[in-house]
Amino acid sequence: MNLLSKEEKMIKNSQIPSEFYKKYNVKKGLRDINGKGVLAGLTNISAIHSFDKEGNQIPGILEYRAYNIKDIINDLRKENRFGFEEMTYLLLFGELPTANELQEFQNLLASRRTLPEFFIRETILTNPSSDVMNSMSRCILALASYDEKVSDISIENVLEQSFGLIADFPLLAIYSYQSYVHYFKKESLYIHYPDPKMTTAENILRMLRPDCHYTEVEAKVLDIALILHMEHGGGNNSTFTTHVVTSSGTDTYATIAAALSSLKGPKHGGANIKAAKMLENIKENISNYEDDAEIEKYLHKILNKEVFDKQGLIYGIGHAIYSLSDPRFEVFKSYVETLVKEKGLEEEFKLYEKVARLAPKVISENRKIYKTICPNVDFYSGFVYRILEIPQELFTPLFAIARIVGWLAHRIEELINMNKIIRPAYESVLESKNYIKLGER
């Protein structure tokens, strides 16, 4: 008699020897040894560069519709204006808006920041969830039932649906969180409606905080965080999910629910939570923030699975694509410095800077690596959200509020160019067997 448990049977019969991936020339994770993804499609929406044409490592470059993200952010900072709505226009339409076009688009999004009558009460508050992302997924599919043209995948209709979803995502996230806090943490319930005169970043802080108060620096830093997270090439897990699901011909709500489910994973959108928790753990266990040797020693312990979550990972360091530098990290750092000064957290920030500098060295000493590693945008984003008094339950939903713009731009691009359903191949590594009758097993 086979005494293996059901779980043991599943594991035994599902394992694939690691050497088979080399034998069949399959790139695990659809990436080569340097982290470069297998080419699966073409896009006009964004580009990521970390190697030159000769294959040499270069400082990371991120472009939105061929515009360097650093140039975009520098212009916003110089003119001291918010930019999320402007970048949303750029990613959707492929062109920078004129002043009049931007104002019209901002007014359009403001007019769409509303949910169906009784939706907050009947869909969000009546069915609270301990997971904000799951609540948002349910809300997206519920919104589909209010759309008489839900299955219309014409570009005109999908664009209309896109405006509504981009405008509504902050509401779904904040109200789902408020519902969670009220029912699961037994705290007071605050429901603030968005102000049509305010930007997306301002409204997020306004709706989240009981007194609706925030500073201009806080809102500007959050605005930059949203811009840096809104798009990152067609190959990231949730955006690729968007392309795959869109290619089947399904509706916009189902597509975005699928993308949101992908983003929810700790290896994707949840990475900044891990980075924030790790850095809090480091802070608690380092007695002298000025002592590089003590910090290095603790980082070695993290890699050796002795402390923190004992997974052997330094979160926020390294990236599948970038090598010498992540441009999002570099851009964000200057804004973090401004926020840190306003909040009086310079000493803590120095520790973060030291970890960012020392961690790549420690990893290279402990691991066999094939390219230079650098801090990524997740290293600072969790820290910034904590300073902004944003709870960890909203870290990944904030990512979604930004990234839905990229998802929808890619969905429209896929619809415009779609002629085949995306269907890659998987090779079976089992040899054929002769069937065994029930009585002979």
| Sequence spans of domains, the chain | 81-267+391-417, 271-387
pLDDT the model gives residue 67: 98
Packing angle of the helix pair 271-285, 346-366 (nearest 10 deg): 100
Packing angle of the helix pair 327-343, 69-79 (nearest 10 deg): 30
Q: Which has the closest alpha carbon to 199: 160, 172, 226?
A: 226
pLDDT the model gives residue 93: 98
- CA torsion angle 117 113 183 269 (round to 10): 140
pLDDT the model gives residue 334: 87
Residues 404 and 165: beta-carbon distance below 8 Å = yes
The single-letter DSSP state of residue 61 is E
What digits encode the pLDDT tens for the residues 142-152? 999 999 999 99
pLDDT the model gives residue 30: 87
Q: What is the DSSP string of 277-295?
A: HHHHHHHHH-S-TT-HHHH
pLDDT the model gives residue 55: 84
pLDDT the model gives residue 272: 87
pLDDT the model gives residue 36: 76
pLDDT the model gives residue 2: 59
pLDDT the model gives residue 105: 98
pLDDT the model gives residue 270: 85
Catalytic residue among 229, 243, 319, 410: 319
- 378 assigned to active site: yes
Whole-number Å distance between alpha carbons of 195 and 212: 11
- 243 assigned to active site: no
Low-confidence ranges of the chain (pLDDT < 70): 1-3, 34
What pTM did the predictor assign? 0.94
- Name the fold adopted by 81-267+391-417: Citrate Synthase; domain 1 (1.10.580)
Domains 81-267+391-417 and 271-387 share a fold: no
Structure-token pair, residue 370 = 């094939």
What digits encode the pLDDT tens for the residues 278-302? 999 999 999 998 999 999 999 999 9
pLDDT the model gives residue 192: 97
Catalytic residue among 168, 223, 378, 410: 378
The CATH architecture that domain 271-387 belongs to is Orthogonal Bundle (1.10)
